[in-house]
Amino acid sequence: MRTNIENGLSNSPERGGAAPAPELALELYRSMALIRAFETNVSALYRDSEIPGFVHTSLGQEAVAAGVCRALEPDDYMATTHRGHGHCLAKGMDVDAMMAELFARAEGICRGKGGSMHVADPSRGVLGANAIVGASMPLAVGAGLSSRLLRQGRVTVAFFGEGAVNQGAFHESLNLAAIWELPVLFVCENNIYAEFSDSRRMTRVPRVVERVAAYGVDAALVDGNDVEAVHAETLAACARCREGGGPLLLEAETYRWQGHYEGDAQPYKPDDEAEAWRARDPLRVQGERLVERGVASAGEIEEIETEARARVDAAVERARSLPAPEYEEAFQHVFGD
Question: What's the pLDDT at 192?
Answer: 82
Question: What's the pLDDT at 269?
Answer: 78
Question: What's the pLDDT at 196?
Answer: 61
pTM of the model: 0.89
Cβ 42 vs Cβ 89: under 8 Å: no
How many other CB atoms sit within 10 Å of the CB of residue 257? 17
- The long-range contacts involving 299-306, CB below 8 angstroms and separated by at least 24 positions, are 301/29, 304/26, 304/29, 304/30, 304/33, 305/33, 305/36, 305/37
Q: Cα-atom radius of gyration of the chain, to the nearest Å?
A: 19
Mean pLDDT, contiguous 10-residue spans, the chain (337 residues): 39 57 96 97 92 88 97 96 94 96 94 89 92 92 96 96 89 96 96 73 81 92 96 97 95 84 74 82 96 96 97 97 91 80
Cα dist. 141→78, 120, 216, 333 in Å?
11, 17, 16, 25
Phi, psi of 198 (to 5 degrees): -70, 110
The CA-based diameter of the chain, rounded to the nearest angstrom, is: 58
Comparing CA positions, the residue from 82, 79, 93, 99 lying closest to residue 38 is: 99
Rounded Cα distance between 296 and 139, Å, is 40
Question: What's the pLDDT at 289?
Answer: 97
Residue 300 CB contacts under 8 Å (≥ 6 apart), including other chains: none
Question: What's the pLDDT at 150?
Answer: 95
Instruction: Could you list the beta-strand ranges (E) of the chain.
Output: 77-79, 126-128, 156-161, 184-190, 193-194, 197-198, 218-223, 248-253
